[in-house]
Chain A
């Protein structure tokens, strides 16, 4: 059956610049590149779905091809939608486990100490490697005790007291793994006299999309759109997210890939540093204490695609004492759940190798990046600690130690 919803492949003039910029095509010859997997073979798949190539599974959905494309072809969208449109659905316990982050999170946070202890044990790792094909080299992020939402409930009243408020979408990582980042968001916004309304219904859908659970992703997306729109309407506030991939999904993937109407949140939704930078420019600049550190900033792919990197850089530049090196834009290779799969692990590490080399050359005291999965990848693959820009800003505000 021919479906012509996404005919942007028709605009491809075969200049191949996407393949030149593709970090995966550079790392492995198994991936023929975004041009071949996207617009070229989409024509063939329209003719006959049997002409589907397995190799397009190597795509990490980093979207660098779409940034490079001079013809506005939604290359990564074409590849991602081919993954679930044409491949046979089968039972994949590992992918299910990796994709359903909120389900796993809500279970694991109940016994986080135990989970964190067990997941590090070599026999467990070996078991996961052998039976679930999760590479034993891969380090899992630690689960926190309880959820961020539970913490927030205790502080809701004081946040609602602020005259100006912003709706904050914390995402699975903050809710289940890193409450501190969520608290830092609150610290920073409070210092700017803005209250934080947390609205969190479901996982944004990034891992679900990547693993082909599109129906689930659509369900989540609809819930999120409705709850965020409702919260924003109540307080007339902006919606922010401190995860570059979550905000990218909420803003762009819902619309382009899941083909849902997200116009209710589209205009008011921003990645956090854009929101902060705008306020800084308007003069809402809290008092910042020096953070005397040598830092290297890595820009995540999805933030690049949104065009939000300059906001983060401008915000970081405001912090006195911070000696900032902007790293050459490279993909770290983890691509969410991609790096957790044994078949892609090597590719994932090879993609990131260039970035790791550049970080070592910069020899910073900390690495700063906006994306949680980039953080896991860099912390696992280099000896450096990685922090979120909002965390660095929060320490500059409260004078705490970083």
Chain B
């Protein structure tokens, strides 16, 4: 068994956990992050990637709206390369209550969100695919944010400042030392290795999974899981975030995210013991498609790539409420005060937008307890990749000889770090993923720098396998590169390949019609017909250990 001693432990590699790790590292506190699966694999990576202006919450939850707009402004500065400042629209359809429009303008003013009325014609000029029957339109400073990139950049920065990260490592137990939580015992799920880590403070940032974790330390924490489902459209059908101007309800937003568009979201209660096995239901898909079509009619003609769902990390303060009604406010619990267990704090609730604020609050408390660390700097120190604004035209010129589509896509994903990834050697910019322009160089960089342990992790860092073919042409090439760059044995890479295809299949299965069905059939021919992948037998090495 390995034994590690450090100053702080952060449990959970979502945006909040990664943000807390970075915040602590920036303050000079040595910290370790433990994540049971991969960075941003839970709730963080399972939303529509909206950079909220706060307008969505303005009418019902003014406090959240204020938090959103203030974080919105900060993130645009520190996380440029994870953000696209698309702007957003709130449109009223003929069947919607027209009074919500005025209410929204008024509440946005209270919250300090710039919200201006624009003409219907102007809205249609901005967004030509919009339903031409809309009655009115408002413009708000919404944008899009890539949660995978954001979380990964936070982790990368922390690591560059000395923090350690254990992914695919599950906390089995919080170790108690009298009335204090002294450390954690965890297990690497890929190798089976056991690790014990001791620290002065443990920050529980495991979101909805926190209930289970706290129970292991004898603390009761009631989470209120609510499922939200989303659909991914094959290409961008809109360039601005399109919101429906009504009381928040199912399927009232379409977000352009990188090369695709996403229709979101639904809200459904789920039992706590089922949070790891949630799937998208047929009626949710029907609702999303139907409402999406009302906003942008061409949704009906486009290919739906996949459906996915996430669990909202809502913490039940008192009684049971509907997933959308419940406050999305931030909950910071000092267990020393609440449960007389020292050395443990929980940061929960909130949303992707407020991850930095949550991290700041958690790190403030942690530092106060450690009696160490400096002031928070995360609101003004840019993330790696966002150090400087990078001009696309200049980058294209700098990398003359490499196709613009490759330079542009790499720049979009990694910002200023593009210089660490691309160079003019042919092998470096050879395409691995042809849909999303992921090069061998980018994969090499991700394998070496970004805590990638399997192809699913690699997908979150690079977008490999996220295009129309869903990994059909890139997955086996990527599996080969794991071996080439000594990240896996060939047996392990075969296993990874199977896992990756299964993971892709899970999201395609609910939307299996039309072109997506033809695509899957073709993928099946390749992997089963050509490679016979279903017949490969793997030694269950991990089990034996």
**Taking beta carbons and an 8 Å cutoff, which residues of A are in contact with B?**
1-4, 7, 9-16, 32, 35-36, 40-41, 43-44, 46-48, 50-55, 71
Contacts and interface: CB of A to CB of B under 8 A. Distances in A.
B218 interface: no
A10 B435 contact: no
A192 to B, nearest CB: 46
B469 A2 contact: no
7 contacts: A7-B298, A14-B468, A47-B235, A51-B404, A52-B404, A54-B404, A71-B515
Contact of A47 (B258, B298, B396, B472): B258
A13 B238 contact: no
A13 B403 contact: no
B259 interface: yes
A71 B301 CA distance: 15
Contacts of A35: 434
Contacts of A55: 403
B404 A43 contact: no
Contacts of A36: 431, 434
A13 B409 contact: no
Given A2-B236, A43-B235, A12 B403 contact: no
B519 A14 contact: yes
Nearest to B472: A14
Given A40-B435, A43-B467, A51 B409 contact: yes
Given A2-B238, A14-B435, A41 B405 contact: yes
Q: 8 smallest A-B Cβ distances: which pairs?
A: A14-B469, A51-B408, A51-B405, A13-B519, A53-B403, A43-B235, A10-B303, A13-B522
B434 A40 contact: yes
B234 interface: yes
B473 interface: yes
B405 A52 contact: yes
Contact of B259 (A11, A32, A43): A43
Given A1-B128, A14-B435, A44 B409 contact: yes
Nearest to B520: A13
A117 to B, nearest CB: 43
B259 A47 contact: yes
A71 B405 contact: no
Contacts of A9: 235
Contact of A10 (B234, B239, B404, B431): B234
A303 B186 CA distance: 68
A36 B436 CA distance: 11
Main secondary structure of the interface of B (DSSP, over half): loop
A4 B233 CA distance: 14
A16 B469 CA distance: 11
Given A35-B434, A43-B435, A50-B404, A3 B128 contact: yes
Contacts of B515: 10-11, 13, 71
Contacts of A48: 408
Contact of B404 (A7, A11, A53): A53
B521 to A, nearest CB: 8
Contacts of B437: 44
B405 A53 contact: yes
Contacts of B434: 14, 35-36, 40
A37 to B, nearest CB: 10
A324 to B, nearest CB: 39
Contacts of B469: 13-14
A187 to B, nearest CB: 50
A4 B129 contact: yes
Contacts of B467: 43
Interface in B327-370: none
B489 interface: no
B390 to A, nearest CB: 13
Contacts of B231: none
Given A2-B239, A41-B405, 11 more contacts: A2-B129, A4-B237, A7-B302, A10-B468, A13-B522, A14-B469, A16-B473, A43-B234, A46-B236, A47-B256, A53-B405
Contacts of B258: 47
Contacts of A16: 473
Contacts of B129: 2, 4
Given A4-B298, A40-B434, A50 B408 contact: yes
Contacts of B259: 43-44, 47
A40 B468 CA distance: 9
B476 to A, nearest CB: 13
B279 to A, nearest CB: 25
Interface string B293-311: 0000010011100000000
Contact of A46 (B235, B392, B518, B522): B235
B123 to A, nearest CB: 14
Contacts of B235: 7, 9-10, 43, 46-47
Interface in B439-482: 467-469, 472-473
Contact of A44 (B234, B408, B519): B408
A36 to B, nearest CB: 6
Contact of B468 (A12, A50, A53): A12
B468 A71 contact: no
A13 B514 CA distance: 11
A394 B435 CA distance: 52
Interface in B217-268: 234-239, 256, 258-259
Nearest to A35: B434
Interface in B120-154: 128-129
A32 B403 contact: yes
A44 B522 contact: no
Given A50-B408, A53-B403, A10 B128 contact: no
Contacts of A40: 434-435
